[in-house]
Amino acid sequence: MARAIEHIEKEIAALEEAIAAIAQELKAAYDAYLSSLAQIMRQQLILASYHICTQGYPDKFLQLSLSQRQKLQQAIRQAAQQTADKLISLTNAEQMQLDELEQKDILMNYLRQLEVHNSNEQEEKVEPSEDTEEENKENEAQDHNNDEQLENTQDPNPVFNTALSLNFLSLKTYSPDTSNPVELLKWQQQTEARILANLKHVSSEVNVVLRDAYILPQKLPTPILDAAAIASEASAEMMPGPPNILNLVIGVENDNQSAEEPGLTQIMVVGLRLGEIEFSEPQLSSQRKQIRYVLGRLNKLGRQYQHKQREHSVAEAEAAWRASWYED
């Protein structure tokens, strides 16, 4: 039995070494992806702002003086560059420092992704096999056929989802154990959620800049701008019209109207969407596919790792039983 446990431990060590190698591949894939995303996001944000000023509200923009236009454009460039710098640095720090607002946004993004994943999984649910070994073989075969179709944020193993859910709320700083697949997936989930949070923040920030420059309605509350960014980010479908632009119809109270009869106003705001940004650039889409490919390999090793951990626990329990058993 001691030899069996030692053999299992060697297999676990080999798996941990392979997982650590995949961790390096995953980080390199994200580094390349985030570098491209930062540049393309900056371009798309400026284009969306340009469209709002020249196509959505040209009269408002023309009312600005030259210095006011330059000040507006500078504020947009600064917001775009600051967000680009944040995106590039997402995987560079050894620890992710999260403030309270980021934790909330990341958690909301994560739970939204988890809800979509679980909904899709429920529709495709099949009866599990009673034979653990046979089940693992079937899972590996299925993974081989579906690598290119893997979702970018979720692992099909419910044990992974449970571990991620239980640990996500407590994270303020996080440096993953790259030899542990659950920890590595948790890091990947954080990275994805922080990407979305940054896109939401900069969309809202630029909308406030446009409002303060009298391009958007002055009585447009900041929470409405935040909600617009969230709605744009949460939608999984491509929006009609120009990319990263959201058209809304909201109630805005005018001076000549009573509180009981607010006026309906159609507005055009910035709403950066990761899907549209990726769609606009083939290189970025290719880099996303590479991330999915690496995650697919991680998922396979993760299932093997969990199976070996289970074998190890069973072998230790059996040895402990024999060690403490005696006949009356």
Domain ranges in the chain are: 2-324
Q: What is the pLDDT of residue 34?
A: 97
Cα of 66 vs its chain's centroid, Å: 39
Q: What is the pLDDT of residue 99?
A: 56
At 265 the three-state DSSP class reads: strand
- What share of the chain has pLDDT > 90, as a percent? 44
> What's the pTM value of the predicted model, to 2 decimals?
0.72
Give the position of tokens 């420059």: 213
Q: Which of 77-86, 203-212, 257-266 has the lowest mean pLDDT?
A: 257-266
Q: What is the pLDDT of residue 156?
A: 42
Burial class (CB in 10 A: 0-12, 13-18, 19+), 289: middle
Spell out the residues 6+ positions from residue 292 whose beta carbon is closer than 8 angstroms to its own. 147, 148, 150, 151, 152
Tell me the mean pLDDT in the region 122-142. 48
pLDDT tens for 88-112 read 998 875 545 555 555 566 566 555 5
Q: What is the pLDDT of residue 151?
A: 40
Q: What is the pLDDT of residue 157?
A: 45
Nearest to 174 by CA among 183, 162, 166: 183
- The string of DSSP codes covering 65-107 is -HHHHHHHHHHHHHHHHHHHHHHHTTTTSSS----HHHHHHHH
Q: What is the pLDDT of residue 297?
A: 93
Highest mean pLDDT among 7-11, 102-106, 284-288: 284-288
Amino acid, res. 129: S
Q: What is the pLDDT of residue 1?
A: 63
- What share of the chain has pLDDT > 70, as a percent? 65
Q: What is the pLDDT of residue 50?
A: 97
Q: In angstroms, rounded to a whole number, what is the distance separating the alpha carbons of residues 260 and 57?
A: 28
Tell me the mean pLDDT in the region 57-64. 96
Flag whether pLDDT at 264 surpasses 90. no
Q: What is the pLDDT of residue 187?
A: 87
Q: Which residue has the higher pLDDT, 179 or 87?
A: 87
Q: Which residue has the higher pLDDT, 78 or 105?
A: 78
Spell out the residues 6+ positions from residue 246 whose beta carbon is closer than 8 angstroms to its own. 228, 231, 232, 239, 268, 269, 270, 271
Flag whether pLDDT at 253 surpasses 80. no
Q: End-to-end distance of the chain based on CA atoms, in angstroms?
A: 24
Nearest to 202 by CA among 51, 87, 54, 62: 87
Tell me the mean pLDDT in the region 7-12. 90
Spell out the residues 6+ positions from residue 25 whose beta carbon is closer than 8 angstroms to its own. 294
Summary count for the chain: helices (H), strands (E): 10, 2
The tokens for 53 are 């000023």
Nearest to 249 by CA among 268, 232, 231: 268
Spell out the residues 6+ positions from residue 289 whose beta carbon is closer than 8 angstroms to its own. 148
Q: How high does pLDDT run on average in the chain? A: 77
Tell me the mean pLDDT in the region 301-315. 91
Q: Which residue has the higher pLDDT, 17 or 149?
A: 17
